[in-house]
Chain A
Amino acid sequence: MSDTSKTPILEVKELGIDFGGLTAVNDLNLQIYDREIVGLIGPNGAGKTTVFNLLTKVYKPTRGQILFEGRDTAGQTVVGMNRAGIARTFQNIRLFDKLTVLDNVRTGYHNSVRYSPFTAVLRLPSYYAREREIEGKSRELLKIMELDQYTDVTAGNLPYGAQRRLEIARALATGPKLLLLDEPAAGMNPQETENLMQMIRFIRDHFGIAILLIEHDMQLVMGICERITVLNYGMMLAEGTPEEIRSNPAVIKAYLGE
């Protein structure tokens, strides 16, 4: 369990969003601490991905507050949230299909390793230095995500599981403090899922970051999450350790019906 006396890296207070007359998320409270793996689960349409879109400012919240590292994020843009330290993957994979695997990861370093367009056009020495740095770091990440055999493959041609891992690699390249994974195991077989679980744990330990993940695969969620938040109809249904969630009658009712 995490040390609750510390300030959480992410703190969500009474967050809500309406789409017209529909309340998609309401009164959500969530804290994530450093180096924690937290699960966000719930039946289809519960509003899990909407929460991710709120956290990354794709949607502007109707109500409530999102504090990242203690600072209010009101008025931030999608780009700004990434620079602040939140990276994400997408439920329906969004890679740069026509770029190679290596270039996909390289784009992740867009903000952390910088040089001007003039440096690029004039091929100044710093261009070569920065590009070498980007390439070295990118190859290292590809190795960690077990993608090194695909380095020069066009991303759109990758097998499904590799595409999901590439999205994680690209997100990690932006140097996040909090990583949001939207159904990372979707479409994976049990062997791949098992592999992914170890990978997620390794990422947390190696990069020292917090991870919030949406997942339907209960084996994975119960296996690696230290805390779990359950959403139903946009509302928080339960919160607790995997054991608490597993035995919570409200959760069982939401999943299985009466």
Chain B
Amino acid sequence: MTKKKNLFQILVDDRHRARTISYTMVIAAYIIVEAMLRSGNLSNLFINLLVPVTCYMVAAIGLNLNVGVSGELNLGQAGFMAIGAFSGICLSGFFADTIPAVPRLMLAILFGALLTALMGFLIGIPVLKLQGDYLAIVTLAFGEIVKNLIMNLYVGFDRTGLKVSFVQQTFTLEEGGRILLNGPMGSTSTQKISTFTAGMILVIIALAIVYNLLYSRHGRAIMAARDNRIAAESVGISVSRTKMLAFVVSASLAGAAGVLYGLNYSTLIVSKFDFNTSILILVYVVLGGLGNINGTLIATVILFLLPEMLRSLQAYRMLIYAVILILIMLITNNQSLRAGLQSLRNRGKKDE
């Protein structure tokens, strides 16, 4: 057996280093941003981006489990975010007068996460029998279907209780009733209860869930099924079941992120969660490095804030954004650069 390690050695050994770096980065980012908020050093533009960026981080951490670790291409992450967002908005609106903000936010996130986990499970049953491109197409279709369903969904409540309808004409509320979801107009008068602190806590929880899962028999099974499906089955791992686990966890993290996102805006339309959003999250995961959670975190922050930083370029904004994306891809895939980094890392190891 190996000799006992002290706590610090455990934190930085090969197996746990990535996790330690993740937590350190998130906590450091939180402290810095909070300090800047207190001292009033942040522009309004930036303050408004704080909650959304944590939402995308959570959704991207989830998607990394699905795409990076499990190796299945999922283009429906925005669909799960939409389900989370609007179920969270409805729940929060319904209990607006009865439950105070903080427990209501927690309840909404939990509800959204469980609902999307269930949805993920139901969709996973047929979808995970497919592989590769087919899976991508089905999840893409799923995202579009969800978007269109929610676009035609009317939810409100009055004295007689909750009312849900897909047809505007049959959707009537008694006096004093409140509309929560108004079809294509989306949510119109949501109480903004999401906070940056809540977002960062959610990021930490998402990290804990994914890392704890990865360093377990389930995580090993997910990676084994990705590396070699036939061998995984030969050692008794049910590949469809492990893929399902990764898919459901990914979906429920997207749902939780969606709730946080939805409760950050007083009005929100569902077309915010279209195909482009799914692709955007996928870009964060791919450019951050498949299976590399730290990369995902950094890529999400940079790529989410970049378009905002480039606002001064006006019409050229998306052009420059695209060029930067391509440059990042070229640089991170450069063989000689990678070899250089690797030799640096090896040198660091010898010094230890």
Tell me which residues across on chain A come within 8 A of B213, comparing CB atoms. 117, 120-121
Cβ of A123: which chain B residues have Cβ within 8 Å of it? 212
Q: A120-B212, A127-B216 in contact; A110/B231 too (CB < 8 A)? A: no
User: Which residues of A121-153 are within 8 A (CB) of B?
Assistant: 121-123, 127, 130-131, 134, 136, 139, 152
Which of A12-20, A23-31, A77-85, A242-250 lies at the interface?
A: A77-85
Contact between chains at B217 and A139 (CB < 8 Å): no
Q: Are A96 and B224 in contact (CB under 8 A)?
A: yes
Of the candidates B1, B14, B216, B234, which one forms a contact with A56 in the assembled complex, judged by CB atoms under 8 Å apart?
A: B234
**Is A121 in contact with B220, judged by CB distance below 8 angstroms?**
no
* Chain A residues at the B interface, C-beta cutoff of 8 Å: 56, 58, 77-79, 82-83, 87-88, 90, 94-99, 103, 106-111, 113-115, 117, 120-123, 127, 130-131, 134, 136, 139, 152, 170-171, 173-174
With the chains together, A110 CA to B218 CA distance in Å? 8
Q: Are A94 and B230 in contact (CB under 8 A)?
A: yes
- A sample of 18 inter-chain contacts (CB < 8 A) reads A78-B233, A79-B237, A87-B234, A95-B228, A96-B223, A96-B228, A97-B227, A98-B227, A106-B217, A106-B220, A107-B235, A110-B236, A110-B237, A120-B212, A120-B217, A121-B209, A121-B212, A123-B212
Contact in complex: B212, A109 (CB < 8 Å): no
Residues of B within 8 A of A79 (CB): 233, 236-238
Contacts of B221 in A (CB 8 A): 107, 110
A120-B212, A127-B216, A134-B217 known; A110-B227 Cβ under 8 A = no
A120 touching B234, Cβ below 8 Å: no
Give Cα A171–Cα B230 distance, bound, in whole angstroms.
13
In the complex, chain B residues whose CB is within 8 Å of the CB of A87: 234-235
What residues of chain B lie closer than 8 Å to A127, measured between beta carbons?
216
> In angstroms, how far is the closest chain A Cβ from the Cβ of B199?
20
Expressed in whole angstroms, the Cα–Cα distance for A83 and B237 within the complex equals 9
Q: Is B140 an interface residue (CB 8 A)?
A: no
Interface residue B245 (Cβ < 8 Å from any Cβ of A): yes
- Any chain A CB within 8 A of the CB of B232? yes
Which residues of A sit under 8 angstroms from B228, Cβ to Cβ? Answer: 94-97
Contact, CB under 8 Å: B1 / A139: yes
* B235:A174 contact, CB within 8 angstroms: yes
Shortest Cβ distance from residue A62 to the other chain B in the assembled complex, whole angstroms: 21
Known: A98-B223, A131-B216. 4 other contacts (CB 8 A): A78-B234, A79-B233, A90-B230, A97-B228
B236 contacts A96, CB within 8 Å?
Answer: no
Interface majority SS (helix, strand, loop, mixed), chain B: helix
User: Nearest CB to that of A109 among chain B residues?
Assistant: B217
Identify the closest chain B residue to A171 (Cβ).
Answer: B235
Task: Scan residues 39-73 of chain B and give those whose CB is less than 8 A from a CB of chain A.
Answer: none
Q: Kindly list chain A residues whose C-beta atoms are within 8 Å of the C-beta of B217.
A: 106-107, 109-110, 113-115, 120, 130-131, 134
- Tell me the complex Cα distance, A60–B88, Å: 48
Residues of A within 8 A of B219 (CB): 120
Residues of the A chain whose Cβ atoms lie less than 8 Å from the Cβ of B249: 117
> Once the chains are docked, how many angstroms separate the CA of A173 from the CA of B220?
14
- Min CB distance, B271 to chain A, in Å? 34
Select from chain B the residue with minimum beta-carbon distance to A119: B216
The answer, among A96, A103, A139, for a CB contact under 8 Å with B231, is A96
Q: Among A96, A97, A98, which residue has the most Cβ atoms of chain B within 10 A?
A: A96
Q: Please give, as numbers and ranges, the residues of chain B lying within 8 Å of A171 by CB-CB distance.
A: 234-235
Residue of B nearest to A123 (CB): B212
Quick one: given A96-B223, A99-B223, A139-B1, are A90 and B218 in contact (CB under 8 Å)? no
Q: How far is the CB of A153 from chain B (nearest CB, A)?
A: 11
Q: Judging by beta carbons under 8 Å apart, are A96 and B227 in contact?
A: yes
Q: How far is the CA of A202 from the CA of B1 in the complex (A)?
A: 22
- On whether A120 and B237 interact (CB within 8 A), knowing A94-B231, A152-B14, the answer reads no
Shortest Cβ distance from A152 into B: residue: B14
Which residues of the partner chain A approach B234 to less than 8 Å between Cβ atoms?
56, 78, 82, 87-88, 90, 94, 171
Query: Looking at A115, A121, A122, A139, which has the most chain B CB atoms within 10 Å of its CB?
Result: A121
Interface contact B220-A99, CB-CB below 8 Å: yes
Contacts of B218 in A (CB 8 A): 117, 120
